């Protein structure tokens, strides 16, 4: 069976590897706990007790894909079954009671919900989720939405059998002024009811405000008297109820549901379900009538690594250009421009290693010339001087080493042949004008494409803010308060081949009559100071020296400090790749400690601080694609990085549950 042409998302789950990394003894009880019925019977046991034995062959490859167009969106999952009886038991525990399983020639299927279906035979199962909207007039350009070819025949056949009520509802009826009058009368009733309800709420809130201002708490609720079980009735036990006040008045008038309207809506809902069911059956027939093998286009698998735990392919061109989003910009003649910009594929290989999680992304534009222009940007010169700003106390950094001059070629290629009909000549003229007016080489010298942002630490600072109080007559009164906030200590720097240009900019700011009060020069540094005690950043420093422009919160950040082996490795990595970055999450959480106030938040913070690691990413040109790799290093005793996330989430979940029990007590 071939993957549909309008597939925009494709995923393979490598069960052979992933199943070895799942500890079912831990995972199964956790799934049982979160699947408990949270309704009336909170102590009710889960309907399925062993998620490790659902009949699904977990060590087999799973195939998932999603399709999208204007009227139909589907998500499909193909699984292998190793125990049909167990799988059917699992389905019976999941489906609604009384719902019968439908039998076909070579498979069985059942709807788990109105838009969710599952089908299976002895060895294979398919789960499909379908969202269908009837094609309607496109308000943007007066065209009609296209219908998916797979669904067309199904929709046509279903609409032959629609009932008369829905047919009348679907057909445009002549204007009926009596019906319109009745509708307006109903609207008036609703509006009056809403006004009355809002006035009552306002009065109650005003009384609550006065009580809180006086007593600083809400009034205690009176305990209800114990029910009398004595056979002898005593008049002394009779509770005299207080008189009903305006605050206690609740309008009890109930408007009856329009039975005809409800009948039409139920009928339309039934028709939609019949269409969706027909589409699901058509998909199931197509699969189970095949040799049960999935045929995937080579384009989707070009960057798949057979050793990865999960592989994902995403066609962003189809997501933007063929889905409902295209109608948002089609009327403004942006279709070709945005189509060229997003006409790309991305592939992701995910690895759950023992000590880290790795995600490798390959980005590739579908136009080879466009891809070449994008790749050229990532072949800029390296700048080791900037990277020496990283030091031992750094929480993280983001470094960029690209070719600023080549960005113009990419920009021009996006605009080339992107005009809509009559505007193509104007667009070509605009591009030629840009090339004449802009001196790309001079601009590139101002900022060649090398820069770095280093976050050194988070410092606590008290700031003032204004709150408001109200007297008995609801007159507003300002109150000055203070609070602790976290302020970043950072340095941002980028290379330049034209120091004079930047110095002239900063000199102009120091002499400008409006900016001179806040922007001053002292030696080699320009200082910007807001002058307010409640500002988050007291001051910022600017400097231009050694062909580098600096922006920092402290002058000390520009002093080169001795580096340990860890920070030295960060420095080398930041100078090696076109894009790279690191973030030490443990250091970040230490800086954010004051932001966690409640007991529950503190417990969550402690769990995170004990377990979080650091994040590292790099981007470079690999062959005919842009490859980005992100690593998350774990720092606890979990069996592997997959179970690490489970252990962390389980610990936080148990902490939240214990807090709920304490609050209940």
Q: What share of the chain is helix, strand, coil (3-state, %, to 5)?
A: 40, 25, 35
* Spatial contact of 551 and 542, defined as CB atoms under 8 Å apart: yes
Q: Annotate 35-83 with three-state secondary structure.
A: CCCCCCCCCCCCCCCCCCCCCECCCCCEEEEEEECCCEEEEEEEEEECC
More confident residue, 448 or 216: 448
What pLDDT is stored for residue 265 in this prediction?
74
Q: Mean pLDDT highest for which of 36-50, 361-375, 452-466?
A: 361-375
* Spatial contact of 56 and 82, defined as CB atoms under 8 Å apart: yes
Dist. CA 479–CA 106, nearest whole Å? 75
C-alpha distance across the termini of the chain, in Å: 58
Dist. CA 492–CA 503, nearest whole Å? 17
More confident residue, 567 or 22: 22
How many Å separate Cα 592 from the centre of its chain?
A: 23
What pLDDT is stored for residue 226 in this prediction?
53
What pLDDT is stored for residue 514 in this prediction?
84
* Spatial contact of 335 and 321, defined as CB atoms under 8 Å apart: yes
Name the pLDDT band for 531 (thresholds 50, 70, 90).
Answer: low
- This prediction has a pTM of 0.76
Half-sphere exposure for 645 (CA within 13 Å, toward CB): 10
DSSP H or E segment with residue 610: helix 599-611
Three-state DSSP class for residue 504: helix
More confident residue, 648 or 306: 306
Neighbours of 639 (CB within 10 A): 14
Per-residue pLDDT tens over the stretch 467-512? 888 777 777 788 888 888 888 999 999 999 999 999 999 999 999 8
Neighbours of 616 (CB within 10 A): 20
Q: Is the pLDDT of residue 314 over 80?
A: yes
Q: Is the pLDDT of residue 169 over 50?
A: no
**By mean pLDDT, which of 331-345, 400-414, 508-522, 621-635 is the weakest?**
331-345
Per-residue pLDDT tens over the stretch 593-647? 777 766 777 777 777 877 888 999 999 999 989 999 999 998 777 889 998 888 8
More confident residue, 556 or 233: 556
Q: Is the pLDDT of residue 301 over 70?
A: yes
Cβ neighbours for 96, distance < 8 A, ≥ 6 positions apart? 112
For 91-146, give the DSSP string.
HHHHSPTTPPPEE-SS-EEEEEETTEEEEE-SSEEEEEEEEE----B-TTTSPBPP
Percentage above 90 pLDDT, the chain: 35
As a whole number, the mean pLDDT across the chain is 80
Dist. CA 94–CA 105, nearest whole Å? 24
* Spatial contact of 543 and 526, defined as CB atoms under 8 Å apart: yes
More confident residue, 153 or 541: 541
Q: Is residue 218 classed exposed, middle or buried when 0-12, 13-18 and 19+ CB atoms within 10 A define those classes?
A: exposed
What pLDDT is stored for residue 238 in this prediction?
44
What pLDDT is stored for residue 581 in this prediction?
94
Name the pLDDT band for 250 (thresholds 50, 70, 90).
Answer: very low
Q: Mean pLDDT highest for which of 421-425, 433-437, 532-536?
A: 433-437
Name the pLDDT band for 568 (thresholds 50, 70, 90).
Answer: confident
Q: Is the pLDDT of residue 418 over 70?
A: no
What pLDDT is stored for residue 168 in this prediction?
36
Per-residue pLDDT tens over the stretch 112-143? 988 999 999 999 999 999 998 876 655 545 44
């Amino acid at each position: 069976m071939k993957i549909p042409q309008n597939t925009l998302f494709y995923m393979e789950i490598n069960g052979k590897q992933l199943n070895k990394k799942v500890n079912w003894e831990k995972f199964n009880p956790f799934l049982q706990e979160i699947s408990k019925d949270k309704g009336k019977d909170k102590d009710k046991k889960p309907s399925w007790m062993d998620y490790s034995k659902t009949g699904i062959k977990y060590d087999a490859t799973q195939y998932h894909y999603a399709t999208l167009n204007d009227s139909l969106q589907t998500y499909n999952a193909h699984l292998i079954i190793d125990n049909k009886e167990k799988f059917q038991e699992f389905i019976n525990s999941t489906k609604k009671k009384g719902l019968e399983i439908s039998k076909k020639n070579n498979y069985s299927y059942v709807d788990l919900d109105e838009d969710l279906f599952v089908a299976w035979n002895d060895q294979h199962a398919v789960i499909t989720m379908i969202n269908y909207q009837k094609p309607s007039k496109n308000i943007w350009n007066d065209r009609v939405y296209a219908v998916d070819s797979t669904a067309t025949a199904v929709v046509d056949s279903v609409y032959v059998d629609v009932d008369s009520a829905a047919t009348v509802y679907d057909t445009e009826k002549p204007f009926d002024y009596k019906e319109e009058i009745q509708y307006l009368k109903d609207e008036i009733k609703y509006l009056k009811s809403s006004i009355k309800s809002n006035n009552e709420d306002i009065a109650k809130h005003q009384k609550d405000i006065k009580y809180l201002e006086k007593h600083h708490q809400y009034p205690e609720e009176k305990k209800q008297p114990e029910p009398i079980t004595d056979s002898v009735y005593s008049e002394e036990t009779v509770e005299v109820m207080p008189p009903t006040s305006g605050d206690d008045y609740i309008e009890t008038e109930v408007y009856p549901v329009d039975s005809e309207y409800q009948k039409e809506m139920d009928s339309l809902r039934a028709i939609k379900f019949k269409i969706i069911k027909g589409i699901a059956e058509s998909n199931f027939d197509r699969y189970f009538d095949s040799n049960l093998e999935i045929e995937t286009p080579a384009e989707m698998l070009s960057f798949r690594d057979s050793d990865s735990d999960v592989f994902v392919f995403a066609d962003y061109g189809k997501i933007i250009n063929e889905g409902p989003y295209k109608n948002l910009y089609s009327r403004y003649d942006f279709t070709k421009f945005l189509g060229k910009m997003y006409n790309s594929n991305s592939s992701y290989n995910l690895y759950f290693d023992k000590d880290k999680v790795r995600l490798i992304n390959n980005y590739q534009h579908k136009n080879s010339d466009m891809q070449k222009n994008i790749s050229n940007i990532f072949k800029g010169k390296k700048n080791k001087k900037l990277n020496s700003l990283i030091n031992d106390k750094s929480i993280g950094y983001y470094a960029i080493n690209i070719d600023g001059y080549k960005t113009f070629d990419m920009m021009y290629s996006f605009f080339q042949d992107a005009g809509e009909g009559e505007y193509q000549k104007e667009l070509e003229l605009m591009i030629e004008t840009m090339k004449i007016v802009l001196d790309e080489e001079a601009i590139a010298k101002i900022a060649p494409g090398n820069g770095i942002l280093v976050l050194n630490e988070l410092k606590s600072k008290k700031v003032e803010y204004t709150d408001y109080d109200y007297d008995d007559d609801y007159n507003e009164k300002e109150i000055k308060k203070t609070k602790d906030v976290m302020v970043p200590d950072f340095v941002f720097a980028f290379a330049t081949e034209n120091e004079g240009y930047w110095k002239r900019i900063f000199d102009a700011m120091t002499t400008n009559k409006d900016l001179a009060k806040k922007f001053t020069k002292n030696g080699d540094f320009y200082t910007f100071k807001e002058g307010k005690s409640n500002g988050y950043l007291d001051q910022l420093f600017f400097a231009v020296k050694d062909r580098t422009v600096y922006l920092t919160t402290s002058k000390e950040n520009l002093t080169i400090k001795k580096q340990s082996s860890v920070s030295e490795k960060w420095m080398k990595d930041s100078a090696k790749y076109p894009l790279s970055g690191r973030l030490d999450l443990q250091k970040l959480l230490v800086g954010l400690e004051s932001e966690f106030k409640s007991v529950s938040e503190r417990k969550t913070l402690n769990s995170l601080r004990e377990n979080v690691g650091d994040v590292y990413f790099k981007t470079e040109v690999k062959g005919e694609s842009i490859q980005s790799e992100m690593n998350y290093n774990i720092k606890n005793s979990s069996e592997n990085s997959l179970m690490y996330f489970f252990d962390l989430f389980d610990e936080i979940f148990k902490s939240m549950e214990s807090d709920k029990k304490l609050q209940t007590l």
